[in-house]
Amino acid sequence: MNMTLLFLLALLPIIWLIVALTALKIPGFKACAIALVIAYVLAVGVWKMPLLDSVTAFAEGAALALWPIIIVIIAAIFTYNVCVATGKMEVIKKMLASVTLDKRVLVLIIAWGFGGFMEGMAGFGTAVAIPASMLWGLGFNPVFAAIVCLIANATPTAFGSIGIPTTTLAKITNLDILSLSTNTVILLIPLIILTPFILVFLTGKSKKSLKGVGIITLISGLSFLIPEFIVARYLGAELPVVIGSVCSMLCTILAAKVFGKGEVDKEYCLEEKKDEKVTSKEALVAWSPFILIFIFLLITSKLVVPFNEFLSNFKTVVNIYSGENAAPYTFSWLATPGLWIILAAFIGGKIQGSSIGEMIKILIKTIKQMMKTVVTIISIMATAKLMGYSGMIASISLMFVTVTGSFYPFFAPLLGSIGTFVTGSGTSASVLFGGLQAETSTALNLNQTWIAASNTAGAITAKMISPQSIAVAVAAVNLQGKESVLLKGTFKIYVLFLIIVGIFTYLGAQFLF
């Protein structure tokens, strides 16, 4: 069949999702289910995927969706719901308001700093779900809270979940992890600096939004970027975002104290009451679930090798996909963030005064609340597996390489972007296109590490428009059926980010060999 026709047919599930979520305004769980049907029909009818292989590809996608992705999302929303039920979210609100009443600075601290920290530690939707629900709890418009957290979550994704997207890419391409991490941060420099300004602009909704917080905003970006670059350059991919986000939060708070002493304009002011004191004990109790999440994710991560290896022994290896080159799927029962977040929520909830019975009821209610999100994520992950295993992704890749030629570096990030849009995962984008990027760069006499890094830099741009990410945001702030509004709110930023990364990749390719 004609290569161009195969390319267009392979794009149909993606085109459908864009049209369904924007023009037709179909709810995400319905749009993604239809995309799955389209991908299945094309995989079997056009790419001649054997029936058994198509069914097992769907099953593997569903398994990946349920464990570990959906459990993490449920865990994150459960944590928030427990804090609301115990009334401690109000204490957190008072504490954050005591730092500043300025909505713009709060967005920088919560969406950018804390969201980056959650991405670095856990990933899998927590970086959108928890900060968005916190902003919503503080009184921000739910649509706004979801959009700013989706945008803020873009750049941290490159080193999310203790660096999994970049370490995975290094394994696939056999490239040096330090060089790959460093080049990735270099490609993201303009986006890391620009993102805080975009968040502030969206908060104020006008050009004068930066008045009074311009220096704070710049510090927020630079204090994230500089530590991230240093850690990536000398330590690798595991800690850049974790350390960068913590530095950004601390520096943003300090900058707000030093440079934000003036009266806050009413349109940016969170609330009228300013003198609500919170004792140290109240603060520890209120933050206990999140403190425990940090501790648990830290000690169970790859940073604590002996314990991580011990937990990794508790696993079940299953052969799900039946096709050629099938790899066994591993269910890691204990070495998964979702389980530890749920445990942190139960312990934290107990500290906050809730009973086990009450929390079980909250957990059941949370699962029921998330059912449409579950359908959405299972559908999109199954679609991704069908497109990958059947050869649809390969058809998209082949067309890109053939048509773009010497301009390939400019378009290389777009491939990573497509990978994340389809799968919702920067890691999956590395798996889908990492090898192709390395091979193509060699064929075109381009720097392998630079082009491979551009795959990750492109992948992060689509995180904010991925149906999976939008489904998480929708669930976090109870906006079921409003997916099209969130996609519309993030799409222009996605295009801007992708163009910037494309230009940087192309320019860098002219000087690196």
> Can you give the pLDDT at residue 25?
76
Give, as one character, the DSSP assignment of residue 113: I
pLDDT in tens, 193-204: 999 999 999 998
What pTM was computed for the model? 0.76
Six-digit token string for 294: 């940090």
> Can you give the pLDDT at residue 290?
82
Q: List C-alpha distances in Å: 213 to 100, 209, 246, 344.
A: 12, 8, 20, 35
pLDDT in tens, 290-315: 889 878 877 887 678 899 889 989 99
DSSP string, 350-398: HHTT--HHHHHHHHHHHHHHTHHHHHHHHHHHHHHHHHHHHTHHHHHHH
Measured distance CA(240)–CA(163) in Å, rounded: 8
Which helix (H) or strand (E) segment is 239 a member of?
A: none
Question: Cβ(387)–Cβ(13) under 8 Å?
Answer: yes
H-state helical runs in 24-125 = 28-45, 51-64, 71-86, 88-99, 103-107, 115-121
Q: What is the pLDDT along the chain (513 residues), one digit of tens a residue?
A: 688 999 899 989 888 887 887 678 787 788 889 999 999 999 999 999 999 999 999 999 899 888 877 887 788 778 888 988 999 988 887 777 677 778 889 999 999 998 898 888 767 677 888 888 888 878 888 999 999 999 999 999 999 877 878 887 887 777 888 999 999 999 999 999 999 999 999 998 877 888 888 999 999 999 999 999 998 998 888 789 988 998 999 999 999 888 876 666 777 777 655 556 788 899 999 989 988 987 887 788 767 889 988 998 999 999 999 998 788 888 889 988 789 889 999 999 999 999 999 999 999 998 998 888 788 878 888 888 898 899 888 888 788 778 887 888 999 999 889 888 877 778 777 776 777 787 778 777 888 899 999 999 999 999 999 887 888 888 888 887 778 889 889 999 999 999 999 999 999 988 875
Q: What percent of the residues of the chain are helix, what percent strand, and what percent coil, each to the nearest 5?
A: 80, 0, 20
pLDDT in tens, 471-502: 888 888 888 777 888 988 999 999 999 999 99
For residue 128, which of 108, 143, 145 has the smallest C-alpha distance? 145
